[in-house]
């Protein structure tokens, strides 16, 4: 019978003779070193360390073994059942990359199929116990397309002992689902390292209820141990909460009833509680129940999640029966309280509530409005082909956007499916985008701490719930903030007010910051460095704009000379000969191409023009 082994070493320089050795040794599957002389080598070249060889095993004198008719193992080389088992014994100890290097994987699968077709179930099970733990064998046999059927046959004959002998992650998905409780018992009895290895290498085939059981038992205790099952577990628990119907397998329900309910149920499990409370809040909110506000007040988890902070700030006043004007004032006040306290960073964690679109820059949400004349949607003047502001109540409630929630509460657009700037949902979306844009600027440039807004207040009476009881109070609600002050004592900028607001210019996304803007118009408004706009009065009297350096009128020029491009040849500069303000064509705002601006003066230069 031919045997198999790997080349331990061959050749090399002999220290005594100074010549190259013509022999070496093979490590046989038994671990024995087998002598190989070059005369018995039937392959080309010379054997190399690590190569897999087949050879005739010859027992020499003195209990020494030697190899005869040795050659490099070929995947096409026929092998008897006994030889196949010898091969598997060898490959069980080899790395997977070795079998790939020599093209053995397909051959092993083919031989395994032949072997399994004629062997008894007992023989197969015994073979798996001997060789199934090897990485190479696992990679080949457990991926065989007949493996699942074979497992069923082994289970019929050997029952639950299969779970103790074959890694659970190697069993088929359908088999695990059909025998979930036995699989759970087997997993729970593994050492922690083996359990984590089984979960991480399972390829997502473990049922969600089994993962919940492992978490409930304390076998998996953090998100990193859950791995790819984390989001699935959250959705599984959420679906149970949303249906308000417990539909766990009996073994899971039994464990919860006997072990967890006396201590408070699943909500006592740190990995599960967030999913329960988030789903419960949205269920209550969908039911338009004040229970949502009560749950938020009592939940430390919800009070620290941006999405739920915003939802509660908006809909708690609505649930209490306030009109939209009061809701807006109260929401604005709560929003800034959260920002100033450092608990909410505009834009972070709000992607579900305020979805983006292709028309808006990264980090900003869609705020599309309908343009009736052209029957299209626009986001800040750019065409929005897929507006995200249109509600879709057919999606799952846990994935509702703020527009879905508004529609659910009956806060619709004035014109059906045609949002405009005056609509409450669009006002909210636009305000959030502006918060995202100014947030980096409302930090002190000396100490880098968040500055405090100098609010303007209005008196409103709001209704609210406290411990489930409806109450009324007079509130000084912040409604506008454009001045920010450093609040860090000892900072050189402490107490200094800085005007920070958005430019009112056409499609201008620039932020007016008094630390950067120098000139003001006659109305006392800062002039934008990008589009030269300042206020509505000046927009009428000086539609082109004013110089942000000296407040003089600006001049629009068009390059018609040899350096002119095909498009965008306009540039602007201050009319004052004592001012060097100038914006080249590549940085020019779209405003200057509007018909409302003065006709450009033609020149044969790209600027600036010498006066």
Q: What percent of the chain has pLDDT over 70?
A: 84
Per-residue pLDDT at 134:
47
**Residues 91, 141: contact at Cβ < 8 Å?**
no
Per-residue pLDDT at 481:
76
Q: Please indicate, yes or no, whether residues 336 and 352 belong to a single structural domain of this protein.
A: no
Q: Say how far apart CA 163 and CA 87 lie, in whole Å.
A: 26
pLDDT tens, position by position, 87-98: 666 665 554 444
Span 209-234, average pLDDT: 95
Q: Say how far apart CA 426 and CA 403 lie, in whole Å.
A: 9
Per-residue pLDDT at 479:
45
Per the DSSP assignment, residues forming a β-bridge with 369 are 378
What confidence category does residue 457 fall into, taking pLDDT thresholds of 50, 70 and 90?
very low
Pairing relationship of beta strands 483-485 and 452-453 according to DSSP bridges: antiparallel
Task: Say if residue 215's pLDDT is above 90.
Answer: yes
Per-residue pLDDT at 35:
92
Q: Please indicate, yes or no, whether residues 355 and 424 belong to a single structural domain of this protein.
A: yes
Span 468-476, average pLDDT: 60
Residue finishing a domain among 23, 49, 72: 72
The torsion region of residue 444 among left (phi > 0), alpha (psi -120 to 50) and beta comes to beta
Residue finishing a domain among 21, 37, 72: 72
Q: Give the E-state strand segments of 336-379 in sequence order.
A: 369-371, 376-379
Q: Give the E-state strand segments of 467-594 in sequence order.
A: 469-480, 483-485, 497-502, 511-513, 554-559, 570-574, 582-583
Task: Say if residue 443's pLDDT is above 60.
Answer: yes
Task: Say if residue 540's pLDDT is above 80.
Answer: yes
Q: Whose CA is closest to 205, among 179, 185, 234, 241?
A: 179
Whether 27 is in a domain gets the answer: yes
CATH number of the domain bearing residue 57: 2.40.50.140
Whether 363 is in a domain gets the answer: yes
What confidence category does residue 548 fall into, taking pLDDT thresholds of 50, 70 and 90?
very high
Q: Please indicate, yes or no, whether residues 396 and 410 belong to a single structural domain of this protein.
A: yes
Per-residue pLDDT at 502:
87
pLDDT tens, position by position, 137-187: 555 566 666 778 888 888 888 888 888 878 888 888 999 999 999 999 999
Whether 204 is in a domain gets the answer: yes
pLDDT tens, position by position, 239-279: 989 887 778 999 999 999 999 988 888 999 999 999 999 99
What confidence category does residue 477 fall into, taking pLDDT thresholds of 50, 70 and 90?
very low
Helix (H, G, I), strand (E, B) or coil at 343: coil
pLDDT tens, position by position, 394-412: 999 989 999 999 999 988 8
Q: Which residues, in sequence order, are CB contacts of 313 under 8 Å at separation 6+?
A: 330, 331, 334, 335, 338
Q: Please indicate, yes or no, whether residues 289 and 261 belong to a single structural domain of this protein.
A: no
Structural domain containing residue 203: 170-271
Per the DSSP assignment, residues forming a β-bridge with 602 are 558
Per-residue pLDDT at 491:
94
Q: Whose CA is closest to 58, among 26, 91, 87?
A: 26
Span 344-354, average pLDDT: 90
Per-residue pLDDT at 97:
46
- Average pLDDT across the chain, whole number: 85
Q: Say how far apart CA 271 and CA 194 lie, in whole Å.
A: 21
pLDDT tens, position by position, 271-304: 999 999 999 999 999 999 999 999 999 999 999 9
Q: Please indicate, yes or no, whether residues 190 and 266 belong to a single structural domain of this protein.
A: yes
Q: Say how far apart CA 45 and CA 30 lie, in whole Å.
A: 27
Q: Please indicate, yes or no, whether residues 257 and 289 belong to a single structural domain of this protein.
A: no
Whether 484 is in a domain gets the answer: no
Whether 501 is in a domain gets the answer: no
What confidence category does residue 464 fall into, taking pLDDT thresholds of 50, 70 and 90?
low
Whether 325 is in a domain gets the answer: yes
Angle (deg, nearest 10), helices 291-298 and 306-319: 140
Q: Please indicate, yes or no, whether residues 222 and 303 belong to a single structural domain of this protein.
A: no
Whether 46 is in a domain gets the answer: yes
Q: Please indicate, yes or no, whether residues 177 and 264 belong to a single structural domain of this protein.
A: yes
Q: Which residues, in sequence order, are CB contacts of 550 under 8 Å at separation 6+?
A: 519, 574, 576, 578, 579, 581
Q: Please indicate, yes or no, whether residues 364 and 305 belong to a single structural domain of this protein.
A: no
Task: Say if residue 530's pLDDT is above 60.
Answer: yes
Counting the structural domains of the chain, the total is 5
Q: Please indicate, yes or no, whether residues 351 and 421 belong to a single structural domain of this protein.
A: yes
Residue finishing a domain among 400, 419, 440: 440
Per-residue pLDDT at 52:
82
> Model-level pTM?
0.71
Task: Say if residue 77's pLDDT is above 70.
Answer: no
Q: Please indicate, yes or no, whether residues 290 and 322 belong to a single structural domain of this protein.
A: yes
DSSP string, 198-257: HHHTSTT-S-HHHHHHHHHTTS--SHHHHTTHHHHHHHHHHHHHHHT-----HHHHHHII
Task: Say if residue 606's pLDDT is above 80.
Answer: yes
Per-residue pLDDT at 460:
55
Q: Distance between terminal CA atoms of the chain?
A: 103
Whether 148 is in a domain gets the answer: no
The torsion region of residue 470 among left (phi > 0), alpha (psi -120 to 50) and beta comes to beta
**Residues 320, 312: contact at Cβ < 8 Å?**
no
Q: Please indicate, yes or no, whether residues 324 and 351 belong to a single structural domain of this protein.
A: no
Angle (deg, nearest 10), helices 180-188 and 208-216: 40
């Amino acid at each position: 019978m031919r045997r198999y082994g790997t080349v331990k070493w061959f050749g090399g320089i002999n220290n005594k003779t100074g010549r190259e050795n013509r022999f070496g040794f093979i490590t046989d599957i038994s671990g024995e070193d087998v002598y190989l002389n070059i005369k018995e080598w039937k392959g080309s070249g010379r054997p190399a360390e690590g190569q897999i060889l087949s050879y005739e095993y010859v027992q020499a004198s003195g209990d020494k073994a030697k190899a005869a008719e040795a050659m490099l193992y070929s995947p096409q080389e026929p092998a008897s059942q006994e030889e196949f088992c010898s091969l598997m014994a060898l490959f069980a100890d080899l790395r997977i990359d070795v079998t790939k290097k020599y093209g053995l994987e397909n051959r092993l699968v083919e031989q395994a199929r032949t072997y399994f077709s004629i062997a008894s179930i007992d023989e197969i099970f015994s073979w798996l116990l001997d060789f199934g733990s090897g990485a190479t064998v696992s990679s080949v046999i457990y991926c065989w397309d007949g493996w699942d059927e074979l497992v069923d046959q082994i289970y019929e004959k050997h029952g639950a002992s299969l779970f103790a002998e074959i890694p659970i992650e190697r069993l088929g998905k359908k088999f695990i689902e059909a025998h979930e409780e036995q699989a759970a018992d087997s997993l729970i009895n593994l050492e922690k390292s083996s359990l984590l290895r089984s979960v991480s290498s399972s390829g997502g085939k473990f049922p969600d209820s089994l993962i919940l059981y492992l978490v409930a038992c304390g076998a998996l205790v953090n998100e990193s141990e859950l791995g790819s099952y984390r989001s699935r577990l959250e959705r599984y628990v959420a679906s149970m909460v949303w249906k308000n119907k417990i539909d766990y397998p009996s073994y899971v329900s039994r464990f919860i009833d006997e072990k967890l309910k006396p201590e408070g149920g699943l909500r006592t499990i740190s990995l599960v509680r967030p999913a329960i409370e988030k789903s419960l809040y949205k269920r209550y909110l969908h039911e338009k129940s004040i229970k949502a506000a009560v749950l938020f007040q009592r939940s430390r988890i919800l009070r620290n999640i941006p999405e739920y902070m915003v939802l509660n700030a908006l809909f708690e006043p609505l649930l209490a029966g306030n009109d939209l004007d009061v809701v807006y004032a109260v929401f604005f006040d709560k929003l800034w309280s959260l920002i100033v306290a450092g608990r909410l960073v505009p834009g972070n964690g709000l992607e579900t509530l305020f979805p983006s679109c292709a028309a808006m820059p990264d980090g900003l949400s869609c705020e599309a409005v309908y343009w009736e004349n052209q029957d299209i949607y626009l986001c800040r003047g750019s065409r929005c082909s897929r507006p995200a502001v249109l509600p879709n109540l057919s999606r799952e409630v846990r994935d509702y956007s703020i527009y879905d929630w508004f529609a659910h509460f009956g806060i619709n657009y004035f014109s059906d499916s045609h949002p405009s700037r005056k609509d409450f949902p669009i006002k909210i979306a636009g305000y959030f985008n502006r918060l995202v844009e100014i947030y980096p600027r409302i930090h002190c440039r000396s100490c880098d701490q968040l500055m405090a807004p100098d609010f303007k207040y209005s008196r409103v009476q709001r209704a609210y719930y406290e411990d489930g009881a409806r109450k009324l109070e007079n509130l000084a609600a912040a409604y506008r903030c454009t001045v920010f002050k450093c609040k860090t004592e000892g900072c050189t900028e402490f107490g200094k007010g800085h005007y920070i607001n958005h430019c009112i210019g056409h499609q201008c996304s620039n932020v007016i910051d008094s630390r950067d803007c120098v000139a003001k118009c006659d109305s006392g408004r800062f002039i934008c460095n990008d589009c030269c706009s300042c206020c509505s009065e000046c927009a009428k009297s000086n539609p082109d704009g004013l110089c942000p350096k000296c407040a003089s009128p600006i001049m629009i020029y068009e390059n018609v000379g040899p350096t002119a491009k095909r498009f965008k040849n306009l540039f602007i500069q201050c009319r004052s000969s004592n001012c060097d303000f100038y914006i080249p064509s590549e940085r020019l705002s779209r405003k200057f191409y509007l018909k409302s601006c003065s006709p450009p003066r033609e020149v044969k230069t790209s600027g600036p023009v010498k006066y």
